[in-house]
Amino acid sequence: MSAFHKASLAAGVAFAALLAQPGQAETVKMTAFAGHPPVFPWVKLMDEYFIPEVDKRLAAAGGKTKIEWTRAYGGTLVKLGSESTALKDGLGEVGFVSTIFEAPKFPLQNITYYTPFGTDNISTVAKVITTLQDKIPEMKDAWTKNNAVFLGGTGLDTYYLFTKNPINKVEDLNGLKINAPGPSANWVKDTGAIAVAGTLQTYYNDIQTGVTSGTLTFSTGAFPAKVYEVAPHITKVNYGAQFGGALAMNRKVLNKLPKDAQKVFLDVGKDYAEKFNALLTGTSGALMGKMAEAGAKIRDVSADERKKWAAAIPNPALPWAQDLDSKGLPGTKVLKAYMAEMKANGVEYPRDWSKE
């Protein structure tokens, strides 16, 4: 080998070594997405807390990994109900998956919607679902099958009834069309009301145009969607806080990151969930006050009346559990475990959905 070639080889090796110097940051492009716009708190906190906190902790860990973020909210990348598909196909790296709108893929996570009239404690509901996912493999598998990693689960503040006209007793629902998404349609079954599908993005127009007379929804969704403007009568039935979805990440993308960077995403995901559920608890009460100031008429429901409402509907949990059992999923196991965990957390139901 000539001296020239040796010198060239040495220069190339030195250049390569320079590029591979330890401490040099690796920039990873990621898209954070959600079907809902950032006006809703689960997306807002994702944008204003999760992303900057990940950046902050990665920098504090030495800055070896840097994220170049693209934000795609409000259906700009994927429509509501298709978020897990976007994660699975790699269209985005971090997304909010609304499990209520993806029930076929996350049937066991929807247990809360089949056990209404529970607690209005959002943190308790999210905590119990997260606990069950750690204990019951089939629940965790739902995320794995979608090439996703569960980062942090979120609850939705308790559902109330928003209607054009006052509802003074359960019998007043007879003949009314009510927007009730997915399994929440069971909450008005046999009351004489007709459940109509919809989302926070359709309720206002549905009620305003007379397609429906009201909706079952929660304060932190109803306020930004301005539902109270067209349905100013709020009946605080307290159907219970629900598990609404989770922040999740593409599994392959997470696994390719250095271990310290993986830990940052997982840790911030847990903190996001805790902050979100605490935020929602405080926010829901404040927003109820703002709706009252704007003219909404709010009626409380007594424990005895609530028990009557619960008794009016057929048990939605047992058929749900039995159907999943027939499909090879542990529906009954999850139902019993959920009710037991809720009881252990001090929650009392007007009916035990697992024993009837």
Residues 115 and 257 reside in one and the same domain: yes
Residue-level pLDDT at 22: 52
Does residue 207 belong to any structural domain of this protein? yes
Which CATH number does the domain housing residue 235 bear? 3.40.190.170
Q: Is 81 within 8 Å of 101 (Cβ atoms)? A: yes
Residues 195 and 328 reside in one and the same domain: yes
Residue-level pLDDT at 17: 38
Q: Is 54 within 8 Å of 68 (Cβ atoms)? A: no
Does residue 349 belong to any structural domain of this protein? no
Does residue 64 belong to any structural domain of this protein? yes
Residue-level pLDDT at 18: 35
Residues 142 and 280 reside in one and the same domain: yes
Residues 178 and 59 reside in one and the same domain: no
Q: Is 125 within 8 Å of 242 (Cβ atoms)? A: yes
Residues 178 and 211 reside in one and the same domain: yes
Does residue 278 belong to any structural domain of this protein? yes
Query: Which of 343, 324, 344 minimizes the C-alpha distance to 334?
Result: 324
Residues 78 and 121 reside in one and the same domain: yes
Cα-to-chain-centroid distance, residue 140: 15
Residues 196 and 231 reside in one and the same domain: yes
Domains in the chain, number: 2
> Which structure tokens are listed for 314?
């057929």
Residues 166 and 255 reside in one and the same domain: no
φ, ψ of residue 226 in degrees (nearest 5): 60, 30
The number of beta carbons lying within 10 Å of the beta carbon of residue 42 is 24
Cα-to-chain-centroid distance, residue 233: 26
Does residue 83 belong to any structural domain of this protein? yes
* HEC profile of 125-164: HHHHHHHHHHHCHHHHHHHHCCCEEEEEEEEECCEEEEEC
Residues 168 and 313 reside in one and the same domain: yes
Residues 192 and 249 reside in one and the same domain: no
Q: Which three-class secondary structure state does DSSP give residue 329?
A: coil
Residues 76 and 196 reside in one and the same domain: no
Domain that holds residue 135: 26-154+243-285
Does residue 353 belong to any structural domain of this protein? no
Q: Following DSSP, what letter does each residue of 163-210 receive, concatenated?
A: ESS---SGGGGTT-EEE--GGGGGGGTTTT-EEE---TTTHHHHHHTT
Residue-level pLDDT at 40: 86
Q: pTM for the whole thing?
A: 0.86
Does residue 19 belong to any structural domain of this protein? no
Residues 101 and 228 reside in one and the same domain: no
φ, ψ of residue 355 in degrees (nearest 5): -120, -5
Does residue 17 belong to any structural domain of this protein? no
Mean pLDDT by 10 residues, the chain (356 residues): 44 38 77 93 95 97 94 94 95 95 93 96 94 96 96 94 96 96 91 94 96 96 95 97 96 97 97 92 93 97 94 96 97 98 96 90
Residue-level pLDDT at 19: 38
